[in-house]
Structures are given as C-alpha cells and as structure tokens.
Amino acid sequence: MQITVNGRLYEVEPGTTLLGYLESRAIDVRKVAVALNEEIVPRKSLSEVCLKDGDVVEVIKVVAGG
Amino acid sequence: MADKLVQTGDELTIADRTFKSRLFLGSSKYPSFDVMVQAIEAAETELVTVAVRYMNLEEPEHEGVLDYLRRLDCQILPNTAGATTVKQAVRMAHLAREATGTHWIKLEVIGDERTLWPDTAMTVEATKILVQDGFVVLPYTSPDLVAAIRLEEAGAAAVMPLAAPIGTGQGLLDWVGIRRIVERVTVPVVVDAGIGVPSDACRAMELGVAAVLVNTAIAQAQDPVAMARAMKHGVIAGRDAYRAGRMPVRYEASPSSPVAGVIQERAEHAAPWRAAP
C-alpha cells in the first residue's frame, strides 16, 4: 500500500504502525512532530496508530529560524 | 567571562519565566552551529528562536539546531514564520509545541511578501486562539499602537513590534511608534527585527522596551561572536540609561561651565556679536 509523507509517495507494508514507519526511516521521534491526515499525533500515541492505504503523513522538525 | 554589568533586581519576566538578559537571539543564518553557540554564549542570551519545517526524509540529519540549543540553558522560542493565514499559524504553533515541548510561541502571520509586514487582524485572531489553546503567545507586530493594544487584549504575553523589516538592518525607523507602545501596554515590549547595530539596540532599550530580539545583525556580521558581545553591551547600556532617566531635551544651549568670572578680552577684541559688558 502507499502513503504520502511530506508530499512524496512511499510504499509501506500493511500493518505498519506510525512509530514503526518513522523508526524504519531512522527518524528520532523525540525531535519531530507528526501529523496524520492533518491531525497531530502525540508522541506517545505513535505506536498505537496503524497506517492505512492513502494516509497523508507530515513529519515536522525544528530548524534554525529568526 | 561573564561580566557583572547586568544589574541585579532588574530581571525581565514574561509569563512564567524570568530573564536576566534582555537580548534575545534568532538561530538562523550563522556560518555554522558552532559559531551560533559561541554567539549565544557571548551575548549571554537566555532565549533563542527557531522555526519548524517539513523534514526531508531523503536527507536525514544527525544533529540539528535543537541538539545544539538543548546543551545551552536557554528558553527555546519556536516561531510560525512562513504562515500567511490564521489556520496555518495555529497549526504551525501546535506542531512546534509537539516538536519542542515548549508552549511558548513567537506568532508571525505575514500579510505582505516583499516587506514581510505582519497582518494585524490575522495576528490578533491567531493570538486569541492560541491563548485559548494554552500557549504563551509573543506576537510579531508593526510599530502600530492600536495593533499592540489589541494584541494585549487578546492575551499576548508580550508584544514584539518591528524596528524595521526582517533582515534589513535598517534600525529603529519609527522610534516614536515604539515609544507610544511602551507607554500604553502593560505587557513587555520586545523590539523584534530590523536591528542593524548595537546603537539601534541601545536606542530601543533607552525608550524603555523590555528586550530586543536580534538575528541577522549578529549572524551575518563578519565576526558574529564579536557582534554578539557588542550587541549585549548596547542592550545593557540602553537599559541602564532608561533606568537612570534621561535629561530633558532643550531647544537652546545651557552652559556646562560657570557663566560668572569668564576671563575678559579688551572691548575692541571682543566678538562682534557679543554685547559690550
């Protein structure tokens, strides 16, 4: 199945959790914010959310800014 | 190292946090994160702004700005830079809170791309929403008195009028406007954006603003660490001068030396414009 992450399409195995996917991409979830279909998913809930075909995921990080 | 120029008992309080330093820094545009850290230390800054953006999954980074800042003892202030609508700004604030763990937000809602001028109506509306959502909101605003009053009414923890457009270094273009805001709002006034040199920061502090937020002027200086130190001294000088109370401006000169007993010339050598004694 396919999901969109930050505007790009990615292939994932059915049954993958949000946490599992992010960890598979070597993302340190302590440093990011994650939204699923525009809803923010609290860090502690990432392991409870199973990805579905067509899901839109946003991964936001902190960058330098003024 | 740290000098003792900052007067004790003159801390700045915003919401639930107290600051000894009245110089806030942005974290952008430094030659490297190491130089940024050295500049923050030289400035003795206790509050540093950051932004939030989409992560590029194809290029994961090992160390980001947050890793460097977390090693310092400073308040992180994420911003909503890039937002041009209320909804976008509110969403960015919530994502920033999740990513950083702080409920402080520097609210920016931009209404014009070329000047990056803040949109007052949207900024007021977003402030109300974010205050309801439990944020400590520090909105970026224009040096407009009524905008500042509306933001305070909306629950802003501080108001942050611009000195000049972001990144221009033009200095304090509307000092009268800033002064008006200082006189009329009760929350701290932080001059944000447009500061170019320490004399700009000093002048703003002389007007009675609570703090200044500087980024480009330090980060893009030829020697950012030296400029950070200079900016700190500018802020301290301005704050001390404000507390000392400036003399009134006079329209005519008033001699500093005694007027009595001035050594006289013979009448024929006296300046022609002087009346004969």
Contacting A residues, span 16-35, partner chain B, CB-CB under 8 Å: 25-27, 31-35
Contact between B77 and B47 (Cβ < 8 Å):
yes
Distance of CA B176 to the CA centre of its chain: 16
pLDDT at site B6: 52
Helix (H, G, I), strand (E, B) or coil at A9: strand
- Two tokens, residue B200: 């700009």
User: CA nearest A24 in B: which residue?
Assistant: B57
Closest residue to B95, CB basis, from A25, A33, A43: A33
Helices H / strands E in chain A, number of each: 1, 5
CATH superfamily of the domain spanning A2-61: Beta-grasp domain (3.10.20.30)
CA proximity to B83, closest of B154, B143, B140: B140
CA B163, CA B187: separation in Å to the nearest integer?
18
User: What radius of gyration, in Å, describes the C-alpha atoms of chain B?
Assistant: 23
Provide, as residue numbers in chain B, all residues whose Cβ is less than 8 Å from the Cβ of A32: 55, 99
Active-site residue, B20 included:
no
Report yes or no: B72 and B47 within 8 Å, Cβ to Cβ: no
What chain B holds in terms of domains, given with CATH numbers, is: 12-248 (3.20.20.70)
Q: What is the ipTM of this complex?
A: 0.93
Cβ separation of B98 and A7 shorter than 8 Å? no
- Give the pLDDT mean for A11-40: 93
User: Chain A residues with CB inside 8 Å of B50's CB?
Assistant: 62-65
- pLDDT tens, N- to C-terminus, chain B (277 residues): 445 555 567 999 999 999 999 999 999 999 999 999 999 999 999 999 999 999 988 887 778 999 999 999 899 999 999 999 999 999 999 999 999 999 999 999 999 999 999 999 999 999 999 999 999 999 999 999 999 999 999 999 999 999 999 999 999 999 999 999 999 999 999 999 999 999 999 999 999 999 999 999 999 999 999 999 999 999 999 999 999 999 999 999 999 999 899 888 888 888 888 766 5
Give me the pLDDT at residue B157, please.
98
CA distance A15 to chain B (A): 21
